[in-house]
Every structure is written in C-alpha cells, then in structure tokens.
Amino acid sequence: MSVIAWSGTAQLAAVTLLAQPLAVVFLSSLLLSLRFLPMSLALAGLLPHAPRSRRVVAAICMVDTTFALLAAGRVGTVAAMVGTWLAQYPAWVAGTAVGVLAAPLLPARLLEASDGLIAVIFAVLAVEAAAAGRREAAVAVAAGAGVAAAMLVLPGSIALPVAAVLAGALGTVVRR
Amino acid sequence: MSGWSVAALIAAVAAGVLLPKATPAALVGGRVGPRAGRFLGLLPAALLGGLAVVAVVGGGPGLRLKPATLAAVVAAAAIMALTRRGLLAMIAGWAVLAAALLLE
C-alpha cells in the first residue's frame, strides 16, 4: 500500500478498516486527506509560472513535508518538488517495511521522539513563512489557534483544512 | 483476504488520497483575481501554522500535549524567530527534545 497510496494517515486508517466495505475505506481515506485540498489550492500561488499539468504532478507528489518546504520557500519549482518526492519515496517505502518488522522491538520513547522531530521541523518552517510579513504571521497564529480549538472536537485531518481556509479568508478580507 | 481484495483496498485508499491532492490543482487556472491571489498567498502560512499545532498535539480529537515535544517546538520556534537560521533552530529543537525525553 505504501508504494501506491502516498499518505501515512490514510494507510493507518485502512489497516483498521480491512473488514469494512470499500466505500467506507474510500470515504475514510478521503476525509483523512482533506488537508491536501487547501495545500493543492495553494499551489496556484506558490507555483504561479508552472502550467496546470505540472502543478497536478506536483500535487500528486505532495505530502505535508513537501508542502512545508515549498511554502517556506525552500523549494520553488515543480522539478524541485518532484526531487523531494524522489528523495522521500524510497525512505517512505523502506521505512514502512522496516517499521512493520521492527516496531515491536523499538522502545515507545523512541517512537514518541519521532513525532517530536517532525513537530520541530513544522514549527521552524511555520516561523519562516510567518516572517514574510505581519499579515502572514497573524494568519499563521490564527490558523494554529483555530486548529487547536477545532481539535477539541474534530480530528486534525478535518480541523486543519477548515481552520487554515478560514484564517486565510479572514486575512484576505481584513484590511489592517 | 484474496489478492483482488487487497488490490481493491489499496485502490480505494489511493483514490481517496489522490482526489483531494489533484483536483484543486487541476481546476485552478494560472491566473486568478487579486483577492483570490491574496488568499492563495496567505494559505501556506495558515497551513504551516496549523500543521505545527497538529504535530504538537497529535491527531485528535482532543489535545494530547507532550511536554518534551512542546519544549522542543517552543525552543526551535524562538531560535528561528531570533536568528532566522533554520538548521540551527531545528538542531536546537531536537537537542531540547532529546534532553527532555532523557530527563522524563
């Protein structure tokens, strides 16, 4: 599954839904991937000179980390996005295989640390993107607060796109 | 499960992942109005702010704050804001994470 479906969250969900009808698996996977909707939408602003067909290729290669690198200006072309995908893909597939075999042997603290490593990367890239201007900083903080509030009742996969789109829209209409 | 069932399951997951990734990129053209352009320009910062929070508090629903992760993220964000040096900020954050996990 790792070779074809490029989303850890959806894969994890599918493992728990093995006995369910395919429609349930599809809908669950779709709901868990809703965060990609605004990311894919943002590609029009982040890759303004790329033809639409290339933006679709970039969108297909996109995961959270790839988007974060693009949004923070660390990569700026479709080719670079595909390059980050090529770098991550073997590690992704091999990591899944190794994880299946080795996870029971690893200490829980090490697995907890892996979440923290990624959180640090996202935090640094968020500060970098927010440093572009006051409006960007305000929108990043508003989206973060909105996600935290929404996650009291919603899963992160739904809270994230909802809060990000609302914060972006608010930042667009507020004059100062 | 038969081979066909596994293949169908993988196809269902892949379709659910690929649809939200590819559809907006396929539908939005190269030229957008000024207001839409401003919105699209702000979306990355909003998404990154949100992603950082999701990474800190877990998948939800509910907030599961891990003190070690929170300390690492605060340290990394502060160093990034002060120095604008991404690699330094990440290394500092990871060092704080390792230290906090060892002390727990």
A5 or A21, which is more confident: A21
Chain B, nearest residue to A15 by Cα: B9
- Taking 90 as the threshold, does the pLDDT of residue A149 lie above it? yes
Select from A41, A72, A127 the Cβ nearest to the Cβ of B28. A41
Chain A, nearest residue to B80 by Cα: A124
Q: Work out the minimum CA distance from B95 to partner chain A, whole angstroms.
A: 10
Predicted local confidence at residue A3, as pLDDT: 67
A135 Cβ under 8 Å from any chain B Cβ? yes
Select from A56, A68, A113 the Cβ nearest to the Cβ of B22. A56
Contact yes or no for A131/A137 (Cβ under 8 A)? yes
Predicted local confidence at residue B79, as pLDDT: 95
Tokens 């009808």, located at residue: A21
Contact yes or no for A148/B26 (Cβ under 8 A)? no
Could you tell me the two tokens for B63? Answer: 């907030």
- Contact pairs from chain A to chain B, CB under 8 Å: 310
- Can you count the helices (H) and strands (E) in chain A? 9, 0
Q: Which residues of B touch A55 (CB under 8 A)?
A: 25-26
Q: Hey, are the CB atoms on B24 and A171 less than 8 Å from each other?
A: no
Concatenate the DSSP letters of all residues of A57-73 into one string: HHHHH--HHHHHHHHTT
| Mean pLDDT computed over every residue of chain A | 84
Predicted local confidence at residue B10, as pLDDT: 86
Least confident segment among A95-104, B6-15, B66-75: A95-104
What is the mean pLDDT of the segment spanning A28-39?
83
Predicted local confidence at residue B41, as pLDDT: 83
A116 or A31, which is more confident: A116
Predicted local confidence at residue A18, as pLDDT: 72
Q: Hey, are the CB atoms on B16 and A115 less than 8 Å from each other?
A: no
Q: Hey, are the CB atoms on A143 and B18 less than 8 Å from each other?
A: no
Residue of A25, A67, A120 for testing the chain B interface, max B β-carbons within 10 Å: A120
B3 or B101, which is more confident: B101
Q: Residue A66's closest CA among B21, B57, B104?
A: B21
Tokens 């399951």, located at residue: B9
What is the mean pLDDT of the segment spanning B57-79?
87
Q: Work out the minimum CA distance from B99 to partner chain A, whole angstroms.
A: 11
Tell me the C-alpha to C-alpha distance, in Å, between residue A139 and each of A10, A75, B32, B80. Answer: 28, 22, 21, 18
Q: Which residues of B touch A1 (CB under 8 A)?
A: 9-10, 13
Residue A169: helix, strand or coil by DSSP?
helix
Predicted local confidence at residue A176, as pLDDT: 61
What is the maximal distance between C-alpha atoms in chain B? 56
Cβ of A21: how many Cβ atoms within 10 Å? 10
Q: Which residues of B touch A125 (CB under 8 A)?
A: 48, 52, 86
Predicted local confidence at residue A97, as pLDDT: 82
Least confident segment among A111-120, A135-144, B72-81: A111-120
- Taking 90 as the threshold, does the pLDDT of residue A111 lie above it? no
Chain length of chain B: 104
- Taking 70 as the threshold, does the pLDDT of residue A2 lie above it? no
Rounded Cα gap, residues B59 and B66, in angstroms = 13
Predicted local confidence at residue A67, as pLDDT: 87
What is the mean pLDDT of the segment spanning A123-135?
87
Contact yes or no for A65/A36 (Cβ under 8 A)? no
Q: Hey, are the CB atoms on B46 and A171 less than 8 Å from each other?
A: yes
Interface pTM, i.e. ipTM: 0.83
What is the mean pLDDT of the segment spanning B62-81?
90
Q: Hey, are the CB atoms on B52 and A25 less than 8 Å from each other?
A: no
The model's pTM: 0.78
What letter represents residue A108's amino acid? Answer: A
Select from A6, A112, A172 the Cβ nearest to the Cβ of B35. A172
Predicted local confidence at residue A107, as pLDDT: 75
What is the mean pLDDT of the segment spanning A59-67?
87
Query: Cis (ω within 30 of 0) for the bond into B44?
Result: no
Q: Residue A132's closest CA among B40, B47, B41?
A: B41
Least confident segment among A34-38, A51-55, A138-142, A144-148: A34-38
pLDDT band at A125 (very low <50, low <70, confident <90, very high): confident
Q: Residue B5's closest CA among A165, A61, A21, A75?
A: A21
